[in-house]
Amino acid sequence: RRGKQRALVAVMHKLTVAIWHVLHDRTGHKDLGADYHTRKNPQRAMRRMIREANALGLTIRFDPA
């Protein structure tokens, strides 16, 4: 809602902070991976998937493996 320029400045700020931490701590960048948040909190990911399926009109039932 604030505009493209504000979003661009926010992204540049995030990158600047990340670069500063890498240079300050003298460490390499470690990519956490695309499924980092799913691995970190699988219950939250499951709730999100159920909520999205319900929004599409689907009913989900999970049985223990």
State the pLDDT at residue 4: 93
Report the domain count for the chain: 1
Rounded CA-CA distance 12/20 in Å is 12
- Look at residue 61 and tell me if it is in a domain: no
pLDDT (average), residues 10-20 = 94
- Look at residue 48 and tell me if it is in a domain: yes
Helix (H, G, I), strand (E, B) or coil at 3: coil
pLDDT digits (tens, 9 = 90+) for 24-57: 999 887 888 999 999 999 999 989 989 999 999 9
Position 16 pLDDT exceeds 80:
yes
State the pLDDT at residue 54: 92
Q: Residue 24 is part of which domain span? A: 2-56
- Look at residue 63 and tell me if it is in a domain: no
- Look at residue 65 and tell me if it is in a domain: no
State the pLDDT at residue 24: 94
- Look at residue 64 and tell me if it is in a domain: no
Position 65 pLDDT exceeds 80:
no
- Look at residue 62 and tell me if it is in a domain: no
